[in-house]
Structure 1
């Protein structure tokens, strides 16, 4: 008999990196949050919340974010996603799965409560739900004259319940039923409130733990328990596919948006001079790849220096295939064919693009050196490209910077407090700590619970859903500019000078080895070496033309 070793630890490896924790934790915490969805939609105009028919069915931030990310990153018909430089997208998705599992357990219990105290006493349940829906509608009007009407509506519903209990209009069994038809939903609310409070406290504890870096997500449904566990096997493959796409060497340039996942281009320095041999002699033929390879070897020595003090951390140096993308494009598509392997372009095709595709349409080759700083909150990438047109060799270095995740996503859960007037000294106020879940929140969760077991399109129609910005990538969608932080701005500016000098030195060395007169190249390098010392961030992708 064949045995299968499907232990959890071997199937779903945790991929978090120590230098990318802050950005990953901030994004993962959104899966556990109970804030309104507007907290996320206000960060990016491309992030929209599609409204449903009834506000009582609308999801909160954690529910909407978890579902949207799972469908976008793991869905069977999902489109390709942009790499999340400076973050671990698999860890974020796993936290979304873990948060959804906690909510499914809560919804199962709430569905049972709704069946016993709601379905059997449906007329009273509908009257109470109508009162709460009317209250939410009146509050959404944000007018002073309607601000107190919501409480009046609930008061009228409560008064009607008391009248039915003491003066039911029927006799016999109908009389008994009318006595409890409005009171049974209140008893059900009591049990639902206990369930919602326990789950809210658990989610908030996970929210706090994620930001503190304590523990990882528990996703047992992504671990196959046997050879016939097709659902878990499919999820495991989707997570592996997500990581393969994260490691792709294909990136996308979208006009003024810059390189997706790396940020906009804020600076550009180029050295372009004529290729002339020493004393008029012929030069040895060489290719752009020869220069790029020399630059690559020299960049690997960036963390070494003559002094034992500070310096660069270990950088990621990669050859990138840059695909042009129109500004209005809503999706990305990586190259396919025999020249690719998975989501990446093979090495021989990268070399061909470097040597041949330097003018006109088509993909381009760039050599990138990337620093992930501030625990993933700052992604600094310097891209180098070498082109040869006729007798002119051009070496260009551009700077791309991706800022920190919005600070709103880094906040820890806070107790719900409000200011109320004192009972005797009414001119003074006091702070009251409310329950972690309000009465309206309990009603919303209880009403939504039975519909979570139905096709998700129905719940989307009733309450709406979150629409993620496209082309979608977890890391670059909700970020702020790094220039507001002085130290981050300094790190970006300071890195350019040594990288530029290494690139120029490696280029001049190759030229000298092939008999090129490097006097003009050396002069231009000295000029740029002086100019780059006063580098300031600019909108290099916005041309005044």
Structure 2
């Protein structure tokens, strides 16, 4: 029997959401990486020593994401609701593999046409380094002038290399010319790779792309520890996203769910119903289970097509976290099963007195809408202090990615004056791979085998902490009228379901529900006219 060898890992060709494909497309993009810094609060740029070795957008994004998600000793990550982080990471791995194949060929070109003719190559590199440092407005002028000077020097040496004769005389003649020939070869390599990356970028956003291929995550044998480690890290990333332990960070809200935009409180005293001397005791989790059942019924409606689509009811344990903290930790011990807290432990948290810094139980009702661009989560908490039962329902909203994330590739353009009609302008299409870009890629290629050294020389992007692939670039949902309407409209059905479940349980346990019922009706009226506000920002 023939051995067909290891198979390439391929994920589902249909990513779970538009947010996933938009984020994945960043791995294949070109252009200036500073856009990442502008669209994410907390992202930072570590400046390098050599401008010519600076990364572009796709390179910076892939390096930052892979270092943060697949590192052996990485910090815990914020869950990414409404997106599939593993798919994004696998697209980064695929894009990096394409670039590594290009860099292998460019390294060979750099050695043959650059290193062997180093003095001439350094002259051309100096021209482009000075141009990159001269600023955006003066860059083209400085670059053109530098190229002209370098051409003159190359022509003078080729015509008359001075008093040097023999081998070194011939070397001086071609010293500045051979790197130019290498540039032509490198340009063909760069153009082919750019077309390949841009095709992947376009197909992702148009919905025609297959899933990413990750050959590096498939061990080729028992001693392939690198591939085995990458496979384990990807599996860990998937498992981490299914955790039921989340963190509350003040005005940031619950990490991964977005800030809290509204809150309703139903708090009344537990008294026996008329005709009863005392109430029948119950646990807080008994009430939570009834709420879980009622919230699941939101999918149904007495009217055709009136059910709420995509209802996801889940139990969360929420831990407090300082708003300025840049990392968090998850609990460990017998109550944990990997990243999940066991159901019995979750019930214990719900039943225990949550007053102080102890973990708190929330019943979450989540809706992922707009193809993953909007995540609405209604969090319900049951607590008892002395004889007062408090039911709190709060709304969290994670907004869409900025529109730029959905931009498809297009050739750069420039407005120039018409010849003979300087008062009119015309649009000129510029090459995607410019002369400066070829030089940058060919210069970076030999250093890509040591990412730490390359980051030190060219700079890198540091992602915001605590980091979640989806939440790091989330915008406000209230700038979109329809998204805001969806967030506000779902509040009333959820609130009604929670209150109905509460009243049913109280009646079953011989508790007077008159005050609860009156308060519930008042809250229902308030919710119908609610407007989003910063529920976790207190002016005191």
TM-score (norm 2): 0.96
> Which of 222, 227, 237 is matched with 1:227 structurally?
222
Q: Is the 8 A contact 2:13 2:211 kept in 1?
A: no
With over 3 angstroms needed to count, the CA separation of the structure-2 counterparts of 1:165 and 1:15, relative to structure 1, is closer
> Which of 128, 134, 152 is matched with 1:159 structurally?
152
Offset of residue 457 of structure 1: 1.5
1:330 aligns with 2:323: no
- Distance across 2 between alignment mates of 1:198 and 1:168: 37
> Which of 468, 472, 488 is matched with 2:467 structurally?
472
With over 3 angstroms needed to count, the CA separation of the structure-2 counterparts of 1:311 and 1:430, relative to structure 1, is same
Q: Is the 8 A contact 1:16 1:88 kept in 2?
A: no
What is the CA deviation profile of residues 61-105 of structure 1, one whole-angstrom value per residue up to 9, with x for unaligned ones?
Answer: 100110111111111111110000000000000000000000001
Q: Which residue of 2 aligns with 1:35?
A: 31
1:58-457 alignment to 2 at 5 Å? 58-139=54-135, 142=137, 148-169=141-162, 170-214=164-208, 215-279=210-274, 281-453=277-449, 455-457=450-452
- Distance across 2 between alignment mates of 1:278 and 1:139: 77
- Distance across 2 between alignment mates of 1:374 and 1:427: 46
Offset of residue 181 of structure 1: 0.2
- Distance across 2 between alignment mates of 1:431 and 1:402: 39
Offset of residue 8 of structure 1: 4.1
Offset of residue 23 of structure 1: 0.4
Offset of residue 325 of structure 1: 0.5
- Distance across 2 between alignment mates of 1:15 and 1:402: 25
1:542 aligns with 2:537: yes
What is the CA deviation profile of residues 162-196 of structure 1, one whole-angstrom value per residue up to 9, with x for unaligned ones?
Answer: 11111111211111111100011100000011110
What is the CA deviation profile of residues 204-260 of structure 1, one whole-angstrom value per residue up to 9, with x for unaligned ones?
Answer: 110111112221111122122333332222111111100110000011110000011
What is the CA deviation profile of residues 365-402 of structure 1, one whole-angstrom value per residue up to 9, with x for unaligned ones?
Answer: 00000000000000000000000100000000000000
- Distance across 1 between alignment mates of 2:206 and 2:471: 22
What is the CA deviation profile of residues 330-389 of structure 1, one whole-angstrom value per residue up to 9, with x for unaligned ones?
Answer: 111111111111011111111111111410111110000000000000000000000010
What is the CA deviation profile of residues 489-513 of structure 1, one whole-angstrom value per residue up to 9, with x for unaligned ones?
Answer: 0000000001100000001100000
What is the CA deviation profile of residues 257-305 of structure 1, one whole-angstrom value per residue up to 9, with x for unaligned ones?
Answer: 0011110000000100000002351000111111101000111111100
SS at match of 1:224: coil
Q: Is the 8 A contact 1:24 1:91 kept in 2?
A: yes
- Distance across 1 between alignment mates of 2:420 and 2:368: 58
Deviates more, 1:54-63 or 1:273-282: 273-282
Q: Is the 8 A contact 1:15 1:90 kept in 2?
A: no
With over 3 angstroms needed to count, the CA separation of the structure-2 counterparts of 1:16 and 1:347, relative to structure 1, is farther
Offset of residue 4 of structure 1: 11
Structure 2 residue runs without a partner (length 5+): none
Q: Size of the alignment, in residue pairs?
A: 537
Q: Which residue of 1 aligns with 2:12?
A: 14
With over 3 angstroms needed to count, the CA separation of the structure-2 counterparts of 1:77 and 1:15, relative to structure 1, is farther
- Distance across 2 between alignment mates of 1:301 and 1:457: 53
Q: Which residue of 1 aligns with 2:523?
A: 528
Q: Which residue of 2 aligns with 1:458?
A: 453
- Distance across 2 between alignment mates of 1:535 and 1:427: 55
Offset of residue 314 of structure 1: 2.6
Q: Is the 8 A contact 1:138 1:150 kept in 2?
A: no
Q: Is the 8 A contact 1:404 1:479 kept in 2?
A: yes
Offset of residue 427 of structure 1: 4.1
- Distance across 2 between alignment mates of 1:99 and 1:91: 12
Q: Is the 8 A contact 1:252 1:259 kept in 2?
A: yes
- Distance across 1 between alignment mates of 2:311 and 2:324: 33
Q: Which residue of 2 aligns with 1:49?
A: 45
- Distance across 2 between alignment mates of 1:100 and 1:538: 42
SS at match of 1:461: helix
Offset of residue 424 of structure 1: 4.0
Q: Is the 8 A contact 1:138 1:147 kept in 2?
A: no
- Distance across 2 between alignment mates of 1:426 and 1:401: 52
SS at match of 2:247: strand
